[in-house]
Structure 1
Amino acid sequence: MTLQGPPPVPAHAPPQVAFQRSEMNVILSLYGRMVAAGEWRDYGISNLSEVAVFSIFRRTAENPLYRIEKRPKLRAKQGMYTVHGMDGQVLRRGHDLKTVLRVLERKLIRAVDCPLTDRADAAAR
């Protein structure tokens, strides 16, 4: 019986783009709040050679509701962070991740029915 180490990594493997820990903290903070609100249920992460993608799903078997992309090559131009909608439309693009994600935070703000005003309306009738 001979022990073998892990297979060698090819020297020509292309580097992958990935979200850094600080970026993931910002994204997962928003994701957690939306899960708690019942809006989102699943996510997927893809690290490719030119782009890192965080996909957000309402249900596992669906197409993603939103895609948060990081493209470092666009850093000097339009900004490396982009939020895409379900139909592929760019919802927001920029240099700062927190600023770009504000377009999704607006989905958290909803009108809330106030039980006190409902009682007052019922008493007035």
Structure 2
Amino acid sequence: MNAAPPFHADPDRVVFDRKELAAILSVYGRFVAAGEWRDYAMSFLRDAAIFSVFRRATEHPLYRIEKRPRLRTVQGAYAVIGMDGRILKRGHDLPQVLKVLDKKLIRSID
């Protein structure tokens, strides 16, 4: 029986660490509970890690949460981008950047 090889991170790809992913999934869970979001996808590229959220799996993403380490010293590594491509919030602190989505949740419940 062959054992699976140990997991090794690809140094050529940007990924979310455990803390970052926990913050993102916390927000995602609140929107799922409110019935606003139903699916997500993650992409790990050479220059960015992207968490996309969907209302339905067949649609374009409603929001993209991106981590771009090359921008960390200038604008901040994290960004929330709307469906139309507008940057809704950018910064150095992921939980602070994710707060822009809290405003969307409050509006959708009212």
Structure 1 length normalisation: TM-score?
0.77
Residue 76 of structure 1 pairs with residue 59 of structure 2? no
1:108 deviates by 1.8
Residue 27 of structure 1 pairs with residue 20 of structure 2? no
**Aligned residue type for 1:89:** R
Give the unaligned 5+ runs of structure 2: 5-9
**Aligned residue type for 1:82:** A
1:109 deviates by 1.4
Identity of aligned residues (%): 60
Residue 102 of structure 1 pairs with residue 99 of structure 2? yes
What count of residue pairs does the alignment treat as equivalent? Answer: 105
1:31 deviates by 0.2
Q: 1:109 is paired with a residue of what secondary structure?
A: helix
Q: 2:60 is paired with a residue of what secondary structure?
A: coil
| Runs of 4+ deviating beyond 6 Å | 3-6
Structure 2 length normalisation: TM-score?
0.87
Match in the other structure for 2:47: 50
Alpha-carbon RMSD across the aligned residues, in angstroms, is 1.9
Larger Rg over CA atoms: 1
**Aligned residue type for 2:47:** E
Give the unaligned 5+ runs of structure 1: 7-12, 113-125
Residue 64 of structure 1 pairs with residue 61 of structure 2? yes
1:14 deviates by 5.9
Residue 39 of structure 1 pairs with residue 55 of structure 2? no
